[in-house]
Amino acid sequence: MLENREQIREKENHRVFKQLLSSFMQEEEETKQEQIEYAKNIQIIPKIYYDDFQKKMKIEFKIGDKQLYKIKNLPDFYTKMLHQEPYQYGAKLNLIHKRESFSEESLPILDFMLKYAEIMKYSNEAAEGYNYYKKAYVLDNIFISNMGLDDLFDALKDTEVAFQQNSLEKTVYFSTIEPEIPFVITQTSNEKFNFQADIDIFSYEILEGKDYTYMLFKNTIYRCSKEFENSTLKLLDVLRKNYTNQVTIDETELSSFFSIIAPNLTSEVQKENLSPEVEKRCVPKPLGVKIYLDYDKNNNVVADIRFCYEDFEFNPLMNEKVPIARNIIGENEALHQFIKTGFMLDRANAKLILAKEDAIYEFLSEEIESYMKRYEVLVTDAFKKKEIHSFQMKNIGIRIENNLLEIDLSQIGIDLTDLAQMLQKYQLKKKFYRLKDGAYMKLENNETMQFLEDLTTNMEIDSKDLASGVMKLPVYRTLYLEKMLESLKNVTIQKDSSYQKMIEQLENEGKSEEIELLEGLKADLRNYQKVGYQWLKTLDEYHFGGILADDMGLRKNTSSISSHFILC
């Protein structure tokens, strides 16, 4: 029995020793690994496979420097990157899996690899135990989804990549610049015209991403804007569905072609052999837009529109036959901008009218700038007078009358009858106030309005009193009012002599070394007690009232001092 215990103890000691030995051997092995020279500046070389019959795309990767090695297990590669593991792919590639090991230009595609390899890893792990799915594991390539195509393009834009389309090997360039697709219209007879897309309509592929559409054409993958997709690609799609790259147009349809189809294309349509007479009748001149702005008697904005083609101009709101070729797309865009702003049709006068106050304010404050950039905008003198103004108080008067503070707002700069309503709008966080004459006053971030709100709210003044132009306050509000006046900028503040004297005296009390005390006072006051006494004396002089608190140090039991003041 004793021997068994000794044997057990010996085995336990031996096990612990082996653990110690293994631990130090591991450290030694790690030290050796640190001495191994690992590869740096590793390139990632992708290759894309595209099946144009099934419309499917996949991508595989090789890594290396002098010699390339295919990544055969992307989920495993992701795990190695996660733990920064070392691994020897072959005689010429010994790699520690971390970002610093890869070249700068390979980092975007590395991030793409890791994103989708992680998805593969956890998808495969979730399917463990389901033998049917397990047999379908794909480890060495990534099938490109719609979202994946957007991500892939971001990783490879402005670079060339190996590309296999069915059995054809080539390289493709990922371009952020849209393709130039030539379109030509040719006059074939007096009344017939041939419109042609100078492209083999079956020579390109459309690839759908999540946020973008892509065009695979020749040796380039182009990312297409919505404008290109809704114009050029739409036209090519119609031709392709009809198995042709050209269409014959009668002269009676030519004006519609140049008015509706041609302006929509992202590249200009080349004109060949068109006679001068045909061009004059069917090809619209550049469109110009004139807008005349005015106010009607109800202070609504009125827009009188003219569409101009060189010297010819007309009102598009009148049902008149126009004897020239027109740019219908451009005209509709201009009219749509008015509708978007909120203009409505005044059919009786063939004009547009903007009636809502909020819409007028937005138009005058912001949107009119975009109109002026795109069109010729002309305004009447009456319209100019009703532009948006920023309310700024110019003068304010302060005086003391009958022991009351009087604030004179009569020179504030606007009709005082508007002031109370303006303040009410400001307190409701409104952007503007419209005066009786139709002009707009901007209220946002307005220093003057903030001053008036503080004045009426904190001084307990009824805003209706603003209409009188003079507000009266108890004189003890002087210091608070003076503090408020300091916040005003670019305002002339006229203070009468009595108010100015009070402010100076309140500010300078206690600074003088000579302080006059009560006659007959028998007390040895410290300096701070003298200053406190003089301060209370000044308050009493202007009927401000004062309080002797416990911690003022003025010795309230000195009856000869405290009885001199009205305490409140």
* Contact call for residues 458 and 438 (beta carbons, < 8 A): no
pLDDT at 450 (0 to 100): 85
Helix, strand, coil fractions of the chain, as percent rounded to 5: 40, 25, 35
Distance CA 338, CA 350 (A): 14
What residue ranges in 13-111 does DSSP mark as E strands? 43-51, 56-64, 68-70, 86-90, 93-96
Count CA atoms closer than 13 A to 508's CA, side-chain side: 10
Distance CA 99, CA 118 (A): 16
pLDDT at 152 (0 to 100): 97
pLDDT at 312 (0 to 100): 92
pLDDT at 36 (0 to 100): 65
Distance CA 327, CA 258 (A): 7
Could you tell me the two tokens for 13? Answer: 């000691």
Count CA atoms closer than 13 A to 236's CA, side-chain side: 25
pLDDT at 233 (0 to 100): 94
Amino acid occupying residue 389: H
Residues 6+ apart with CB under 8 A from 33: 86
What is the pLDDT tens value at each position of the chain, 568 positions in all? 445 777 777 777 777 777 777 766 655 555 554 556 677 899 999 999 999 888 899 999 999 988 999 999 999 999 999 999 999 998 888 899 999 999 999 999 999 999 999 999 988 877 665 555 555 567 889 999 999 999 999 999 999 999 999 889 999 999 999 998 999 999 998 789 999 999 999 999 999 999 999 999 999 999 999 999 999 999 999 999 999 999 999 988 998 899 888 888 888 899 998 888 888 888 899 999 999 999 999 999 999 999 999 999 999 999 888 888 889 889 999 999 999 999 999 999 999 999 999 999 999 988 999 999 999 999 999 888 888 888 888 888 888 888 788 888 877 777 777 888 888 888 888 888 888 878 888 888 888 888 888 888 777 777 667 777 788 888 778 777 888 888 788 888 888 888 888 777 777 654 554 556 666 666 666 655 655 665 566 555 555 555 555 555 555 544 444 444 444 3
Residues 6+ apart with CB under 8 A from 176: 157, 158, 223
Is the pTM higher than 0.75? Answer: no
Distance, CA of 364 to chain centre = 22
